[in-house]
């Protein structure tokens, strides 16, 4: 894993190798700002207007110091690989031309490169990060292990971000807005029903609960639910609980093992057709 973390730390050059080493020392070229178009695989969906304005004021005073990385398109246009925030701020600052560095990046690498560029700058919110990992899995047929290698993260971390996508859209929206943290969201995943997750999320917001308070609330609700279950339902032993937790991580969704005597059932929950399709392919692909 140290090797992959080193690759992430080296930046985009680790993912966009040049065939000619001397090209890395090439001075950036300037192009018309209106010739640039956004990255179609941009993993970030939220651009903070206040921070863009701050960056715009900085660019107005000192210019655009860090070039935008682009690739060539037909018609003398360029697609942004890394630096869409700088491009947007440069527009706000009224720049007509910006420095760019041209790179040859194939379509299948666009999302990967954009994701790593954003991770290095810590610009993605947890939902955007989870969606980016899911896209790498769905669109590029990558496993969670492969994604972890590409982005230089632990596989469990990748799985935890993907699990956030099982939360209701309303709850995800609060995470995107920053009202709920990653810790809050993970705690809410301890609830199995979407309505209960939304209800508790609203309590967290209304009462300003900390992550620890939220975890305790979810535990109390879980104990209350268990007390209402049928007597024939057998409490899970430590090994079965561990198996249930490992299945949650492996599948990236909520999983429940229900024992009734020596029998029982395995429940795998999903919230959308896309998630069902992903789980189907994951479970049936050898």
Show which residues are catalytic.
84
- The answer to whether the beta carbons of residues 66 and 90 sit under 8 Å apart is no
Q: How far apart are CA 188 and CA 171, in angstroms?
A: 9
| Structure token digits, residue 212 | 């620890």
Question: Distance of CA 159 to CAs 189, 218, 228, Å?
Answer: 13, 21, 31
Q: Nearest 5 degrees, angle CA 196-CA 180-CA 219? A: 45
Q: How far apart are CA 145 and CA 137, in angstroms?
A: 10
Q: How far apart are CA 210 and CA 268, in angstroms?
A: 29
| Closest of 196, 235, 234 to residue 217, by C-alpha | 196
CB atoms within 10 A of CB 279: 16
- The answer to whether the beta carbons of residues 83 and 59 sit under 8 Å apart is no
- The answer to whether the beta carbons of residues 143 and 252 sit under 8 Å apart is no
For residue 212, the Cα-to-chain-centroid distance in whole angstroms is 23
| CB-side neighbour CA atoms (13 Å) of 201 | 28
Q: How far apart are CA 246 and CA 223, in angstroms?
A: 21
| Closest of 17, 89, 94, 5 to residue 47, by C-alpha | 89
């Amino acid at each position: 894993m140290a090797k992959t973390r080193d690759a992430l730390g080296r930046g985009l050059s680790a993912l966009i190798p040049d065939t000619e080493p001397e090209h890395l020392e090439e001075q950036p070229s300037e192009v018309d700002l209106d010739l640039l178009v956004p990255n179609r695989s941009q993993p970030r969906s939220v651009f903070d207007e206040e921070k863009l304005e701050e960056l715009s004021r900085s660019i107005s005073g000192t210019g655009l110091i860090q070039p935008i990385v682009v690739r060539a398109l037909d018609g003398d246009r360029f697609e942004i690989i890394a630096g869409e925030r700088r491009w947007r701020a440069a527009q706000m600052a009224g720049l007509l031309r910006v420095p760019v560095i041209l790179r040859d990046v194939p379509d299948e690498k666009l999302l990967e490169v954009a994701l790593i560029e954003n991770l290095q700058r810590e610009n993605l919110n947890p939902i955007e990060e989870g969606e980016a990992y899911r896209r790498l899995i769905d669109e590029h047929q990558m496993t969670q292990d492969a994604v972890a290698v590409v982005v230089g993260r632990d596989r469990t971390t990748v799985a935890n971000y993907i699990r956030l996508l099982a939360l209701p859209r309303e709850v995800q929206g609060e995470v995107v807005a920053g009202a709920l943290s990653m810790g809050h969201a993970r705690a809410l995943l301890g609830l199995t029903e979407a309505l209960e997750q939304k209800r508790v999320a609203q309590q967290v917001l209304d009462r300003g609960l900390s992550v620890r308070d939220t975890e305790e609330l979810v535990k109390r609700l879980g104990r209350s639910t268990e007390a209402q279950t049928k007597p024939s339902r057998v409490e899970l032993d430590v090994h079965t609980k561990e198996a249930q937790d490992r299945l949650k991580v492996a599948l990236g969704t909520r999983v429940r093992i229900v024992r009734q005597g020596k029998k029982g059932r395995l429940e795998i929950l999903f919230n959308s057709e896309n998630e069902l399709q992903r789980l189907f392919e994951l479970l049936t692909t050898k």
